[in-house]
Amino acid sequence: MGIAYSPPDRVVHADIDAGSSHCLRQGLHRAVQLAGWTVDRAVTDGYVYLLTSPQDAGFQCKVQIHDTGRSVFPGDGVIEVIFMDAEEEHLSSGYVIRYGPGRRLRAHLTPCQIFTYTAGVQGNAVMGGIPFIDPNTLESTIDGCADEDSGIKTTRAWWSSGDLSTADYFWGVPSFRTHWLAGCSATLHNNAFVSEVSDGDETRLRITIPQRPSQFQASYGNNNIAYPLILRWTGTEEPLCFDPLLAWNTSHPVKIRGQIWEAFWRTKYVPWETPLTFDDLAWFSYSCGDQQFAFGSPHIYSTGDLFTLYLRDPGLTIFKCDEEEPEVPAESNYAY
């Protein structure tokens, strides 16, 4: 499908003061509005936002960001992020983002998507939103590939993930920040909802990856310990770049539900936040699996090391606490 691009003036890479609950919530509030989220209503110590897909205004979901007063770590508090459908019938568990003295949070935002992280370290990763939907699976398509009443037509979809959840307080769950397989997730496709509370591993988000033959180790040994050749372009040894397709079920056949906005996967390990120029645009590496494996370097079995998710980098916007609200840009004309 190629890269799914959002309106360029609505892609925000925010650096937010997270020294207190007030500063963190205020900074996120300003940043998500710049990205095109609208306020659905205020709640105690937070807001519920409505997200609308640039692809089709019929695709919507909501995100609630608020402070429940909980503290998960000594010395640090947390705010809670909950994803839900527009009707608020299906809700994810609460994913949490830490705040405390000296902390800052970074967030990559589009009109219908969020990725958070703390620069240079693992943790504080909350992500999700409405994916780009393959036009062949839209209800309004006239493409013959999707004319059958096979249940694959998509009328609504959202996904969510986080490496720390208020449901279990389990620290270190894989997310797209550190791995190609994200956990602690809740998802909705049409009327099918799964959540981490009741469905366990069924909620794992997955991406499509090239198949490596079972005899790879026998054929190549450890000569290609940095990157298996089957994941590089033959003859040039350049890494592959491919669409960040999402699936969120484990039963066969697994169906692709959508695609991450403003992103692509690359089959080469790089450290977090490494810059890259691709399609004449600036990008930065969001994920790396290096933290999960011994010796601090990629090896033949560490597929998490081999797949790096890049997000588009429009340049950091710094959000200081208690500044005036930034002006929300007017709607622009764009193609998708």
Query: How far is residue 112's CA from residue 110's CA, in Å, rounded to a whole number?
Result: 5
Q: Which residues pair with 241 in a beta bridge?
A: 266
pLDDT attached to residue 222: 45
pLDDT tens readout for residues 100-144: 999 999 999 999 999 999 998 888 899 999 999 988 777 654 555
Distances (CA, A) of 246 to 20, 159, 204: 34, 9, 10
CA angle 245, 165, 119 (to 5 degrees): 70
Q: Is 61 within the bounds of a domain?
A: yes
Query: How far is residue 9's CA from residue 284's CA, in Å, rounded to a whole number?
Result: 18
Query: How far is residue 10's CA from residue 108's CA, in Å, rounded to a whole number?
Result: 11
Mean pLDDT of 184-202: 74
Q: Which residue has the tokens 């694959």?
A: 152
Higher pLDDT, 299 or 4: 4
**Domain count of the fold of the chain:** 1
pLDDT tens readout for residues 260-309: 999 998 887 788 899 999 989 999 999 875 544 434 444 444 443 467 89
Q: Is 324 within the bounds of a domain?
A: no
Q: Is 326 within the bounds of a domain?
A: no
Q: Domain range holding 109?
A: 8-143+155-211+227-319
Higher pLDDT, 291 or 34: 34
Residues 6+ apart with CB under 8 A from 217: 300
Please tell me whether residue 296 adopts helix, strand or coil conformation: helix
pTM summary value:
0.84
Mean pLDDT of 199-212: 56
Q: Is 296 within the bounds of a domain?
A: yes
In terms of phi and psi (left: phi > 0; alpha: psi -120 to 50; beta: otherwise), the region of 8 is: alpha
CA-derived radius of gyration, the chain: 20
